[in-house]
Amino acid sequence: MQGSKPIQKTVPFSKLQIEKLEKEYPTPFHIYDEEAIRAGSRRLYKAFSWVTTTDGKAGGFKNYFAVKALPNPYILRLLYEEGMGADCSSLPELLLADAVGIKGEEIMFTSNDTPAEEFIQAKKLGAIINIDDITHLDFLEKTAGIPKLLCFRYNPGDDYSHGNPIIGNPSEAKYGLTHDQILRAYTTAQQKGATRFGLHAMIVSNQRDEEILADAARLLFSLAVEIHEKTGIRVEFINLGGGIGIPYSPVDHQVDIEDYARRVHGHYKEIIVKNGLAPIRIVMESGRAVTGPYGYLVSRVRHVAKKHRDYVGLDACMANLMRPALYGAYHHITVLGKEDRPLDHVYDVTGSLCENNDKFAVQRILPEISSGDLMVIHDTGAHGYAMGFNYNGKLRSAEFLMQNGGTFKLIRRAETANDYFATLDFEGSDFSGLARNKATSPPQVGNKK
Ligand SMILES: *Cc1c(COP(=O)(O)O)cnc(C)c1O
């Protein structure tokens, strides 16, 4: 990782464009930049273009986009057009991939604590099942049956020490098989009828150091050699998992994807090729790095309050982006139309939850803010909307895809109070009526029997 100069955090749309959009769709909403997502995807594929198929042909690399990062079918479809598959870990995520037309081995099913119906659905779709625990082999056999192709998730425990606060130390992580278990798992799976194999680990999260990222690949390459030596089994692909980081803060290092891919290639030649195991396909499950930097949460300032501190209250809240509250994560903020104003004020930027963690920024240096200002919170394209929740009766926002630099396609409408009440059946009460009468007259929750 080289020393880097601060990144310019810019916004790909203008204040005028937002004001136009807002006439029809009130803030807050997320906007994803299609062109930038496509450009980033192409760059990733180009960096790994040295990866060959099992027949030794070009084009062996695949990223299975982690659906949990941005579970919107319009996004999945455009990534599919760029050659990506889907990494799913729940039934609804499998249904989403299927709806988009992502098929068979284009789907990686990397789950944990998995219920039978998910294994059954994954097997039905022909997805690659990635096993998280040794006991799941028997469970899979009894419920869905053992597929021909199986992948195992490895947890290196204390053998890997670059842990990070989000995913933590591997020895404390709930995921994957230990070294001894994974060796046994391959032979057991073979006895149960599997004939093709993959190897997976995800041991970094939001990691921006190329050397550490590549080191995770090195660890898996060595394990593939050991599996071959001890069991005679050759894995046909190695799945490096997700975890490529992005620079949330302008002073964060930006991963040099070409440098990372070169380092992985170096380990591949040194370990896989030298031991006569090539070709092994390299795949990954990157989510954050694929869409994260290309999403923006747009929100209006409701109130500016001066108390013991100065507060900017937005119309967005933790329901729209949870990372700052959950992890204390930094998300850059641009005030539209005030980009050139002096940065001479300090604010906590908050949402409206009755929960003091509901802050997008704490003691952030910003230009002077007035009520009605438009704020853009950066890097919300992954683990942003997706983590939303309805605590305090807060509703999730709309999502837009920005296309051709200026068209905004609504790819998910905002929730309404009706959506919030949709799962209730309270003594025949018509909550949809409640939703319509919101705010005007305090509604009676009547019993219409
Ligand atoms: C979350 C997750 C990913 C995606 O991680 P990113 O940080 O978004 O790249 C990939 N694989 C698994 C198993 C995950 O849990």
Atom from ligand 1 closest to the CA of residue 289 = 9
Predicted confidence (pLDDT) per residue in 239-291, tens digit = 999 999 999 999 999 999 999 999 999 999 999 999 999 999 999 999 999 99
Probe target for ligand 1 pocket from 285, 326, 379, with the most ligand atoms within 8 Å of CB: 285
The identity of residue 164, as a single letter, is: N
Predicted confidence (pLDDT) per residue in 301-310, tens digit = 999 999 999 9
The pTM of the full predicted model, rounded to 2 decimals, is 0.94
Ligand 1: which residues within 6 Å by Cβ? 66, 68-69, 87, 110, 202, 205, 241-244, 285-288, 382
Tell me the CA–centroid distance for residue 232 and ligand 1, in Å. 30
- CB count within 10 Å of CB 92 equals 11
Q: Give the Cα separation of 209 and 207 in Å (integer).
A: 6
Catalytic residues: 354
Q: Give the Cα separation of 119 and 56 in Å (integer).
A: 31
| CB-neighbour burial class of residue 237 (10 A; exposed 0-12, middle 13-18, buried 19+) | buried
What pairs with residue 220 in β-bridges?
Answer: none
- Confidence band for 5, pLDDT divided at 50, 70 and 90: confident
Nearest Cα to Cα of residue 410 among 394, 424, 398, 421: 398
How is 57-84 classified by DSSP, letter by letter?
Answer: -B---EEEEEGGGS--HHHHHHHHHTT-
Check if the beta carbon of residue 223 is closer than 8 Å to that of residue 183: no
Tell me the CA–centroid distance for residue 290 and ligand 1, in Å. 11
Q: Give the Cα separation of 136 and 132 in Å (integer).
A: 7
Check if the beta carbon of residue 107 is closer than 8 Å to that of residue 124: no
* pLDDT score, position 120: 97
Predicted confidence (pLDDT) per residue in 160-219, tens digit = 665 454 455 787 888 999 999 999 999 999 999 999 999 999 999 999 999 999 999 999
Locate the domains of the chain by residue range: 33-292
Classify 33-292 by CATH class. Answer: alpha beta
Which tokens hold the place of 284?
């990954």
Q: Give the Cα separation of 76 and 69 in Å (integer).
A: 11
